Amino acid sequence: MMENTAASSAALAEELRNVVRQAEALLQAIGTDKDAAVEALRARVYTAVDTAKGRLADIEQQAQLATQRASIAAEAYVRERPWTVVAGALAFGLILGSLFTRSLRQ
């Protein structure tokens, strides 16, 4: 569940970065046009870009905190149940090994 949240947060952050890049490119394309409507549009886009950058920073911070919480939870689980983790890793290794050798035989 945490992996999905972190992945979706990362995807959202990347999409927001793309929007910010496109908005900044639009601002550069508008250039220094002195038309009042263009100046109003420019001001609105600057405001939107600043808001997006703030939200992006929040999303990145939340993703980092979620990653830290997951790491702490995993470490606590390993400390509380070391033999369960060892048995799980052994089982996973055996399954992977059998799949690998089976694919080599075919």
Domain boundaries defined on the chain: 2-80
pLDDT tens digits for 11-62?
Answer: 777 777 777 777 777 777 776 666 777 777 777 777 877 887 888 888 888 8
Question: In this structure, are residues 27 and 42 in contact, taking their beta carbons and an 8 Å threshold?
Answer: yes
Residue 85 tokens read as: 């983790």
Beta strands in the chain (DSSP E): none
Position 18 scores a pLDDT of 79
